[in-house]
Structure 1
Amino acid sequence: MREVVIVAIAATLGNLLVGWDSSTIAGGLSYIKQEFHLETDPTLEGLIVSTSFLTGTVVTIFSGTVSDMLGRRPMLITSSIMFFLSGLVMLWAPNVLVVLLSRLLDGIAIALTITLTPLYISEIAPPDIRGTLNTLPQFSCSGGMFVAYIMVFWLSLMENPSWRAMLGVVSVPAVAYFFLAVLYLPESPPWLVSKGRITEAKKVLQRIRGTDDVSGELALLAEGMNPGGENTTIEEYIVAPAGDLIANKEAGRDCIKLYGPHQGGVSMVAQPLSGQGSMVSRSMLTLSRQGSIVAQAANLKDPLVNLFGSMHENVTPLEAGAGSRSMLMGEPDQSPYGNSENLHAPLLSAQGSTVERVGSKDMLKVGSNNTDIGGGWKLVYKSTDQGGKREGARQRVYLRADPNAAVLSQQGSFVSGYDLHADGSTEAFPAAALVSHSVISPKDMSIKPEVAAKRTGWGGLLDLGVRRALVVGIGLQVLQQAAGINGFLYYAPQILEQAGVGPLLSNLGISSRSASLLVNVITTFTMLPCIAVSMRLMDIAGRRSIMLYTIPILVVSLMVLVLRDSFHMGSTLNATITAVSVMVYESCFCMGLGVIPNILCSEIFPTSVRGICISICSLTFWICTLIVTSLFPFLLHLLGLTGVFGLFVVGCIIAWIFVYLKVPETKGMPLEVIIEFFSIGAKPE
């Protein structure tokens, strides 16, 4: 499993270049203004910064659709080429027009990287460490900012600093990014399955999971091509030792057989239950009865937030963090999808599995048993039965035990590697299930994944669950920019210089401009441990909790910047307070709002429309970024620092309210289960 971590790290090299670009343009802008006499032309100054965002906005419109057609990997390769070309053009730039051309190429590279890297990592990562791995792009971006600011600061100490060298040197790491993308990064397995390239998907999964038996995950990916949507039902089960129910033929007739990791036969069985059930099941049934979320306008807190929250209450330590620790700390590899020793898999099973060629497409031979899919969930299958007569149709079941009951009975809630029936004396415990029609053919037990998706392309956006997820994704992208981060990133040196940071470091014998750059070096350095903490907590505390706790810190930091002018302070104290507040703001932003919106957007959409939906969310990001960066110089001139920071305070408060009311917790959950929950929450009564 270490391989998937290394692949994820390699994929984030593009994000390092994004951070590098942010720092170099922020540090070099004042020199560009000086050479081309732009001090009296704020419009052209804003255009130099915003050209990359304008280009990114256009590119984002098509990037998701193209990635759904051609794959994720070709888009990453293209971004590396654009980074290389933009650096070369900037090294040569004799005038403002060529500078704008370089920024245009840079915008293409940034757009592809920001849009597709989180998507790519989400599709290759196991559920238990998906959040951790998807925090790597932010860590890499901040690392790029830190290294670039060191370079910019060093160049600023020279008698004649070269802004062309600052901005053009990005071509060097871009070459390394290109060769990694071409020679090392594999294609996304879900994308390969969606195109019917099963053999390739199997090889990629075997490589990044470190096991030959990837049948369970292939089954999950095939099922994920067609979310149940409105056809999904919520059922309750009792999970008990096999002998207790199998002995009773009448009771055991509709049971689902479950296989433990250390038995050759049935270990436990899940029997349908009527009446009062588990806490998780009651939450799911309550949501189902409530009907359309749109109809719940009177209830401010989205019921779907409570549903997702019930999945994470009283989770055992093993469920919360063991997966990420074992994979990242060098312990023996363990896949949440199981392996050849503990997996009775429904797809491409280790014994007797086959892949047949039908025409030009792969087909899958499917078994009939069950497998762990991560996050305490199992994918199991059952046949429909009406009037005692088997119809032969198959239903897929995403099954999860009640966390409370699992703790009491020491079952671990289907955690991968747990024996479901270790000693024969295990008590029964409740479980909740999402049940819908399987995409597996009941006749020949095979499937062509390329025809599994119910709706693909722009038509898939009409599904209620997709529209519900878009509200969350778009809302987070808008409010991320409303919090003001791009104003800080691209104009931080000027903000600090206006705040008088020069006197703070005057005893070092450097200019005011170099002093402001040095503060940015320190600020970006402090981001790194903060992001590392966020990385550690992402799959333990969760995405929602991190945002709810870090946004208030942003508000406090901004309020300090707003209120400092109300007190009479010396220039040194004023500069110190400003510098510290900027450091705290940027560091805490990177922990929460900086990284989590992209993580969530890569998790909540169906595979068939994931690229398009992420393009829509990224388009929102680019439009908002373009607005903020274009207006910031005018707002700074019109309102001053205090007024601008006051606007950002309002944005942060609105962001916290939105997260509390509308954003669910997705930590540790398989992507396919997340998608089903959104579909359930949006279906009409």
Structure 2
Amino acid sequence: MQEIIIVAAAATLGNLLIGWDSSTIAGGMGYIKREFKLDPTVEGMIVSTSFFTGTIVTIFSGKVSDMIGRRPMLIGSSIMFFLSGLAMLWAPNVAFIVFSRLLDGIGIALAVTITPVYISEIAPPEIRGLLNTLPQFSCSLGMFLAYIWMFSMSLLESPSWRAMLGVVSIPSVAYFFLVVFFLPESPPWLVSKSRISEARKVLQRIRGQEDVSGELALLAEGMNPGGESTIIEEYIITPAGSTEQISNMESAKDYIKLYGPNQGVSMIAHPISSVHGGGSILALSRQGSVAGQATAGLKDPIVNLFGSMHESDHHHHHHDLAAQSIDQGSFGTHHDNLQAPLLSRQGSSVVDRSRFYKRSSSIKGSNGNLAAQGETATKATNIGGGWQLAYKAVDGKKEGGFQRLYLHADPSIGAGSQHGSFVGNSGTDLQLALERGESFQAAALVSQSVLALNKDNTIKPEAVANKGSGWGALLEPGVKRALIVGIGLQALQQAAGINGFLYYAPQILEEAGVGALLSSFGITETSASLLVNVIITFSMLPCIALSMKLMDIAGRRALLLNTIPILIVSLTVLVLRDSFPMSSIVNAAVTATCVIVYESIFCMGFGVIPNIICAEIFPTSVRGICISICALTFWISTLIVTSSFPFLLHQIGLTGVFSLFVCGCIIAWVFVYTKVPETKGMPLEVIIEFFAIGAKPGADPATMAS
């Protein structure tokens, strides 16, 4: 676990440089304006040049990263930051400043687009939110350090804006060497290119364990989501050794044999129902509170589907079907072949393929030892968030085709549990439940596996290559709904006004008289404004640290719904402050407080969560393309806000600008409430399947519950 945290933190050094850049250009613009006597139009052009460049680069960055990998893109980002800093150190005129900002925009675009994807692809589900909050923490840390640097420089008799902006070249060198010599390539990308051996080595390094075959299987399955072909099935999960429980079941057409953590305890999955699409969605999501049902009709079906799943998990205190290491399948370790995950626990040899097609007329047994009866045997792999990956054979497949199952248990329902929710974080409670012979109900997302048995019972690398990775895949219902969520979040993030604050905060505070207030302490108004920004950026850090703690507990959606109202209140106070008589000191204090609260709370929620969600909701095969589309939305929105802010500030003043931001925040809250699902703790592959299922007609659990 320590290794994955270090790798993720190293990957965010580019975000630290982004934060440094945004602060230095904000603080340095005042000096540049005075030296070159800039008008608002040229000032806006200098600031927005990096965003214009980023917009162009973003169009291609996602697709290129799918072609050449995530790591080379981060290397390119570090090089651009280095060249930009050198150009700014030498800049003799405005044209060269613009050129430096152009290079800077390339570095920013690559880091902003690729880093969240990279971290999401290497992170385990349980801490994916925490690790994906690190980029925002690094960005804010960069802003804090940059404002300290700017404030220190401003105290000199002749501050040099070239040194303020050009020093970014130094940390960019460290960024370059870290990416080249320390960061591994993304395992999902390696699997998509059939580089299985490399993917295995990376997983062994970042997971700190030798047996990663189960996760390799999951990554292979993630290359090709089930989509519209996914079937939802319900099962009663029963310990195979419990003859009493088994004898109480009706005859079944087939079943799945599962294994407990490390003890080799087998379980039987007895099918209850099997339907396509959303007909059995309630198997995956139990409606919670009455209030939740009353408001469910206002939300998108996908939001209800995700939300009721988390509601059920919270209600039953259910966190993991087997939170410790369930046997991770049995994939071989030789060359680039994957051993088929259908191995018997009772022996070391591969199960005879002919046994995969046998069905049992009854799951009853005299001694409960089903391994001796020739039935289908599989192994379950814990994939996080209470989900398991298992396999079952498909009848009539001559080459040993089989289906994958993403299983999720609801221990409070059905069968024979007398003890309620028995699944704990350690897996020990599950073992005790199995020893008691308890049964519980589970639901499964079932679809055709991309892994297929060959004659030597191995999977060749080409068998797990991407399918449908072109632009046409964007038209699939689940992908289209995910794009609506991603594009909406990125656009509304900028409509909330954050970049207006970041790039023009010193001027906003100066107009409010904060600089004049602090100048009584013997420093210039410019230095005073920079000092306030030191305080603001410092206050962001504990807020982001709290967000890191809550991201995988409260969840992404809950953080957005609870932090956006605070943004609205802060902006409303800034709008109304001129309507009440107050002294200059009070006015300056109110303005500074609102700015501090706004930027700190924004970084806690809206500043980080859109990138986290966008990196989670798209299939691996089109993740790069979709991230590019969402990032393009971000850059276009940012370009509009930053380039128009000086003009709007001149035309309607701060009060008018803040009024527009209030409207943007209100629209953002409504969008999050109705369209954005909760993705905390769920494996990426399951999230993708949920979007595909939720996009189908009749998939809303709220309407089905009624």
Q: Same fold (TM over 0.5)?
A: yes
Equivalents in 2 of 1:449, 1:659: separation in Å?
Answer: 40
Letter in 1 for 2:217: A
Instruction: Report the equivalent of 1:374.
Output: 384
Partner of 1:243, secondary structure, is: coil
Equivalents in 1 of 2:621, 2:119: separation in Å?
Answer: 17
Instruction: Report the equivalent of 1:509.
Output: 522
- Show the 5 A alignment for 1:68-79: 68-79=66-77
Instruction: Report the equivalent of 2:270.
Output: 271
Equivalents in 1 of 2:104, 2:463: separation in Å?
Answer: 35
Q: Which of 171, 174, 180 is residue 172 of structure 2 equivalent to?
A: 174
Give the alignment's Cα RMSD to 1 decimal. Answer: 2.6
Q: Which of 432, 435, 442 is residue 443 of structure 2 equivalent to?
A: 432
- Show the 5 A alignment for 1:274-673: 274=273, 282-283=281-282, 299-315=297-313, 339=325, 342-345=326-329, 347-348=330-331, 353-356=332-335, 362-368=336-342, 369-385=379-395, 392-402=400-410, 404-405=412-413, 409-412=420-423, 419-420=430-431, 422=433, 424-444=435-455, 445=457, 446-448=459-461, 452-673=465-686
Q: 1:96 to 1:407 in 2, by over 3 A?
A: farther
Instruction: Tell whether the 8 Å contact from 2:572 to 2:658 is kept in structure 1 after alignment.
Output: yes
Q: 1:319 to 1:75 in 2, by over 3 A?
A: farther
Partner of 1:226, secondary structure, is: coil
Letter in 1 for 2:422: Q
Partner of 1:187, secondary structure, is: coil
Letter in 2 for 1:261: P
Q: 1:99 to 1:661 in 2, by over 3 A?
A: same
Return 522-531 or 300-309, whichever deviates more.
300-309
Equivalents in 2 of 1:515, 1:131: separation in Å?
Answer: 36
Instruction: Tell whether the 8 Å contact from 2:477 to 2:692 is kept in structure 1 after alignment.
Output: yes
How far did residue 459 of structure 1 move?
A: 2.2
Q: Deviations over 1:623-656 (max 9, x none)?
A: 0000000000000001100000000000000000
Q: Deviations over 1:152-176 (max 9, x none)?
A: 0111111111100010000000010
Instruction: Tell whether the 8 Å contact from 2:388 to 2:406 is kept in structure 1 after alignment.
Output: yes
Equivalents in 2 of 1:49, 1:512: separation in Å?
Answer: 22
Instruction: Tell whether the 8 Å contact from 2:556 to 2:680 is kept in structure 1 after alignment.
Output: yes
Equivalents in 1 of 2:273, 2:314: separation in Å?
Answer: 27
Equivalents in 2 of 1:411, 1:30: separation in Å?
Answer: 62
Unaligned runs of 5+ in 2: 287-295, 343-378, 699-706
Letter in 2 for 1:17: L
How far did residue 250 of structure 1 move?
A: 7.0
Letter in 2 for 1:31: Y
Q: 1:159 to 1:450 in 2, by over 3 A?
A: farther
Equivalents in 2 of 1:492, 1:36: separation in Å?
Answer: 21
How far did residue 415 of structure 1 move?
A: 7.1
Equivalents in 1 of 2:429, 2:525: separation in Å?
Answer: 61
Instruction: Report the equivalent of 1:199.
Output: 197
Q: Deviations over 1:107-138 (max 9, x none)?
A: 00000000000000000000000000000000
Equivalents in 2 of 1:475, 1:660: separation in Å?
Answer: 12
Equivalents in 2 of 1:465, 1:412: separation in Å?
Answer: 31
Letter in 2 for 1:601: C
Letter in 1 for 2:669: W
Instruction: Tell whether the 8 Å contact from 2:212 to 2:328 is kept in structure 1 after alignment.
Output: no
Instruction: Report the equivalent of 2:358.
Output: none
Letter in 2 for 1:656: W
How far did residue 311 of structure 1 move?
A: 2.0
Q: Which of 117, 120, 123 is residue 119 of structure 1 equivalent to?
A: 117
How far did residue 608 of structure 1 move?
A: 0.7
How far did residue 35 of structure 1 move?
A: 0.4
Q: TM-score, normalised by structure 1?
A: 0.89
Instruction: Tell whether the 8 Å contact from 1:50 to 1:626 is kept in structure 2 after alignment.
Output: yes
Bigger Rg, which one: 2
Q: Deviations over 1:569-612 (max 9, x none)?
A: 11010000000000000000001110000000000000011011
Q: Is residue 101 from structure 1 mapped to residue 99 from structure 2 by the alignment?
A: yes
Equivalents in 2 of 1:649, 1:117: separation in Å?
Answer: 30
- The total of aligned residue pairs comes to 644
Partner of 1:315, secondary structure, is: helix
Equivalents in 1 of 2:467, 2:274: separation in Å?
Answer: 33
Instruction: Tell whether the 8 Å contact from 2:3 to 2:206 is kept in structure 1 after alignment.
Output: yes
Instruction: Report the equivalent of 1:12.
Output: 12
Letter in 1 for 2:272: L
How far did residue 681 of structure 1 move?
A: 1.4
Instruction: Report the equivalent of 1:213.
Output: 211
Instruction: Tell whether the 8 Å contact from 1:231 to 1:436 is kept in structure 2 after alignment.
Output: yes
Q: Deviations over 1:34-87 (max 9, x none)?
A: 00011xx21110000000000000000000011000000000011001000000
How far did residue 461 of structure 1 move?
A: 1.0
Q: Which of 228, 231, 245 is residue 229 of structure 2 equivalent to?
A: 231
Partner of 1:622, secondary structure, is: helix
Partner of 2:95, secondary structure, is: helix
Q: 1:285 to 1:317 in 2, by over 3 A?
A: closer
How far did residue 286 of structure 1 move?
A: 8.7
Letter in 2 for 1:382: K
